[in-house]
Amino acid sequence: MRVKYRPRMPVTSDDDLGFDPDALRARYAEERAKRLRADGNDQYLEIADQFEHFADDPYTDDVEDRAPLTDEVEVVLVGGGFGGLLAGARLREAGVDDLRIIEKGGGLGGTWYWNQYPGAQCDIESYIYLPLIEQVGTTPSEKYARAPEILSHAQRLAARYDLDRDALLHTEVTDLRWDDEAQRWIVHTNRGDALRARFVVVAAGPLHRPKLPGVDGIDEFAGHSFHTSRWDYEYTGGGANGGLDRLGDKRVAIIGTGATAVQVVPHLGAAAEQLVVFQRTPSSVDERGNAPTDAQWAASLEPGWQQERNENFNAWLSGVPQDVDLVMDGWTDIVGRIVAIYRDGRHGALERPMGEVLEIANFQKMEELRARIDRVVEDPATAEALKPWYQMFCKRPTFNDEYLPTFNRPNVTLVDTDGQGVERITERGVVANGVEYEVDCIVYATGFEVGTGFERRAGMHIRGRDGRTLTEKWDDGGMRSLYGMHHRGYPNLFVMGIQQGAWTANYTHLLDEAAVQLTYVIDHMRSAGLTSVEPTEAAERDWADQIVATSMGGIAGGIGGSDCTPGYYNNEGQDLGRPPYEAPYGGGSIEFFRMMQAWRDAGDLAGLECTGPADAT
Ligand code: NDP
């Protein structure tokens, strides 16, 4: 983190903080200890076998009946979310006509296709989150657009770049095999397809497979139940903006209080006869601060504004203060606080190590959020139970103005489990703290698999030149790649993701940078008439060394730290024994994106090995 301000009058004591840092540290450690469990990621139940139906697509009734395909396309894009769409858009811009998206959902949109639960909304402001706004020619209606608008944007993006054409929906890739003789990928799907492709882009998304709590009895429950990413409007009535009119005579339980639950709970609370919210760890809930888009402002934007805004946001988030904070939201706020502490010489900032100043800003922020709960929630015991005791970025921060007031409703009960979670599900309901709560419906807001293997989450095996899967390669000495995208032994494969790539809170920014990068390589190969591309062993080794040599700066450094309360940000608080180079690039995303740009500008595909008639590197 670089701060350019200097203090005016240093003060060295903690007295002016208004809280006791040692007491907070102790409380955070105590709450963390309560939640640590030996089974870590294994505590969750995989959605498979008798639980398979929890992953069924409730949004599209008709699955098109079609014959299996065995034709060849130039590029197969696995996943029709923003990753696949952006890769498709950038490839189309480069003149690639022959590409096909394969998507397991009944429509394109990825996360926004699946997460159609009431209240779904993005926490990153729409002006930077909705990709290629300028190219698509739309203006988000609000600072924080709601899910239907985001899904429409994804679909408009698909239409603008003609990506619907030939898309295979309701189709899951099960196996990717590199045929070295043919120099083609063979793409097997659950619909019996065996397509051939010159290039494959894997854009399967990080939060892709829903998971259930690993408690007994889920299959015994006699009422109705579903996961938030497969919302059953048939049962609840209503739609994305709420109005769940079929719940008026229903007792509903929701398990989980993460970012999804924070958005869902107000709608369930407004509609259900009774709502019981089962909490293991409270989320931090900041103000939403939404507002309609100012038409005059939108009309005044100059070409290139979105990229500029994205870079500004990213800079703040990476701890590099700018002259102006264009986005000014709950993500950039904390860095602004650090800057202010320095600028005003508060709390002896100069005498303290940078980590302590960051910690102070974080304590302040969390104290404010805890005070907000006291102001909003009327019942003191409920207010106390809703308070999060951890550093802000240990868990996904949330922003919502309706969640906390929902607990003032007489029909809503918070069941706090003091970090232990629900104990079991019975035929009649949910057991927590030794008490059985009888309900008609259970909504699982228990998130998605994160800590499990890449191929398991992606739902497919990726077999390279020697038939070895990516998992087998990574089990042998850890993940090796160049920029997280290119993998030796897996020619012409491009993986879009965070691991060994960049981290930024605005995931679509990261995806677009990756799309630009892979398009550059594919374009280069097409124009040079090259056949295959993969990184050299040395390049993979060097990249791993660079990741180890850099360390996460800025806020990213505080995300899911090992001393954080358990969650998916830190592998449920467990050291999985994976090598340190499986992390994102430590120099931060700004540096990473610049490095990619410089690499492209150099034009020599450094670190990649190509074969083909031109046989260039
Ligand atoms: P999360 O993984 O964040 O939350 C799962 C919840 O289930 C947690 O509260 C967890 O508690 C709880 N839980 C798990 N097991 C049990 C149990 N046995 N008993 C009781 N509670 C249990 O999933 P979400 O779907 O909420 O969010 C996933 C991610 O999706 C977010 O982090 C964010 O990245 C993204 N998202 C973004 C949104 C946005 O932009 N607005 C909105 C929604 C999601 P514990 O914390 O103790 O583990």
Please say if the pLDDT value at position 390 is more than 70. yes
Question: Of the ranges 37-51, 115-129, 317-331, which is most confident?
Answer: 115-129
The answer to whether 6 and 536 are in contact (CB under 8 A) is no
Helices marked H in 288-396: 295-299, 305-317, 333-343, 354-376, 380-385
Instruction: Answer whether 72-209+450-611 and 211-283+395-444 agree in fold.
Output: yes
User: Ligand 1 pocket: which of 36, 280, 281, 395 to mutate (most atoms <8 Å of CB)?
Assistant: 280
> What is the average pLDDT across 99-108?
96
Give the Cα separation of 399 and 259 in Å (integer): 8
Give the Cα separation of 599 and 50 in Å (integer): 49
Give the Cα separation of 228 and 54 in Å (integer): 10
Give the Cα separation of 78 and 98 in Å (integer): 14
Angle formed at CA 241 by CA 239 and CA 243, multiple of 5 degrees: 65
- At 107 the pLDDT is 95
Reading the block at residue 230, the tokens are: 């497969």
Please say if the pLDDT value at position 34 is more than 50. yes
Q: Residues lining ligand 1, judged by CB closer than 6 Å?
A: 35, 121-123, 207, 213, 215, 255-261, 263, 278, 280-281, 396, 421-422, 445-448, 567-568
Please say if the pLDDT value at position 1 is more than 60. no
Residue 5: enclosing H or E segment and its boundaries?
none
Angle between helices 589-602 and 507-528 (to 10 degrees): 10
208 vs 124 pLDDT, higher one: 124
Give the Cα separation of 190 and 611 in Å (integer): 32
Q: Report domain extents, the chain.
A: 1-35+291-377, 72-209+450-611, 211-283+395-444
Bridge-partner residues for 46, per DSSP?
211
Instruction: Give 554's pLDDT tier (boundaries 50, 70, 90).
Output: very low
Among the atoms of ligand 1, which is closest to the Cα of residue 398? 41
**For residue 51, how many C-alpha atoms fall within 13 Å in the half-sphere facing its CB?**
22
Neighbours of 291 (CB within 10 A): 9
User: Ligand 1 pocket: which of 446, 569, 571 to mutate (most atoms <8 Å of CB)?
Assistant: 446
Q: Which range, of 148-162, 314-328, 344-358, averages the lowest pLDDT?
A: 344-358
- List the one residue out of 260, 264, 262, 241 whose CA is nearest residue 252: 264
Residue listed under structure tokens 């010159």: 198
Give the Cα separation of 68 and 298 in Å (integer): 46
Closest residue CA from atom 12 of ligand 1: 256
Enumerate residues 6+ apart whose C-beta is below 8 A from 423: 215, 431, 432, 433, 434
Bridge-partner residues for 495, per DSSP?
202
Q: How far is the CA of 282 from the centre of ligand 1 (A)?
A: 10
Please say if the pLDDT value at position 6 is more than 70. no
Give the Cα separation of 401 and 378 in Å (integer): 15
Q: How far is the CA of 396 from the centre of ligand 1 (A)?
A: 8
Please say if the pLDDT value at position 112 is more than 60. yes
- At 400 the pLDDT is 97
Enumerate residues 6+ apart whose C-beta is below 8 A from 95: 523
The answer to whether 362 and 334 are in contact (CB under 8 A) is yes
Closest residue CA from atom 15 of ligand 1: 213
Q: Is the dihedral of CA 497, 499, 500, 501 positive or negative?
A: positive
Give the Cα separation of 361 and 391 in Å (integer): 10
Q: How far is the CA of 395 from the centre of ligand 1 (A)?
A: 9
With b meaning 16 or more CB within 10 Å and e meaning fewer, what string describes 157-190? bbebbebeeebbbbbbbebbbbeeeeebbbbbbe
583 vs 163 pLDDT, higher one: 163
- At 13 the pLDDT is 65
> What is the average pLDDT across 546-571?
71
Cα Rg of the chain, angstroms: 24
- At 556 the pLDDT is 43
Among the atoms of ligand 1, which is closest to the Cα of residue 450? 2
The answer to whether 81 and 88 are in contact (CB under 8 A) is no
Please say if the pLDDT value at position 340 is more than 60. yes
Q: Which range, of 503-512, 532-541, 553-562, averages the lowest pLDDT?
A: 553-562
Among the atoms of ligand 1, which is closest to the Cα of residue 432? 19
Please say if the pLDDT value at position 447 is more than 90. yes
- At 253 the pLDDT is 98
- At 559 the pLDDT is 56
> What is the average pLDDT across 474-491?
93
Class of domain 211-283+395-444: alpha beta
Enumerate residues 6+ apart whose C-beta is below 8 A from 581: 478, 479, 500, 543, 544, 545, 547, 548
Reading the block at residue 346, the tokens are: 């508060």
Q: Which range, of 81-95, 266-280, 449-463, averages the lowest pLDDT?
A: 449-463
Question: Of the ranges 463-472, 532-541, 551-560, which is most confident?
Answer: 532-541
Closest residue CA from atom 45 of ligand 1: 281
Q: How far is the CA of 260 from the centre of ligand 1 (A)?
A: 6
For domain 72-209+450-611, the CATH architecture is 3-Layer(bba) Sandwich (3.50)
556 vs 119 pLDDT, higher one: 119
User: Ligand 1 pocket: which of 125, 257, 390, 568 to mutate (most atoms <8 Å of CB)?
Assistant: 257
Q: How far is the CA of 258 from the centre of ligand 1 (A)?
A: 3
Among the atoms of ligand 1, which is closest to the Cα of residue 417? 20
42 vs 413 pLDDT, higher one: 413
The string of pLDDT tens digits covering residues 292-323 is: 999 999 999 999 999 999 999 998 887 787 88
Instruction: Give 104's pLDDT tier (boundaries 50, 70, 90).
Output: very high
- At 354 the pLDDT is 75
**For residue 546, how many C-alpha atoms fall within 13 Å in the half-sphere facing its CB?**
21
Bridge-partner residues for 200, per DSSP?
76, 493
Please say if the pLDDT value at position 92 is more than 80. yes
* pLDDT over 70 percentage in the chain: 95
Chain centroid offset of residue 232 CA: 23
The string of pLDDT tens digits covering residues 572-595 is: 887 777 788 888 888 888 899 999
3-state class (DSSP) for residue 560: coil
User: Ligand 1 pocket: which of 115, 129, 211, 396 to mutate (most atoms <8 Å of CB)?
Assistant: 396
CB burial class (10 A; 0-12, 13-18, 19+) of residue 545?
A: exposed
The pTM is what? Answer: 0.93
Instruction: Residue count of the chain, please give it.
Output: 617
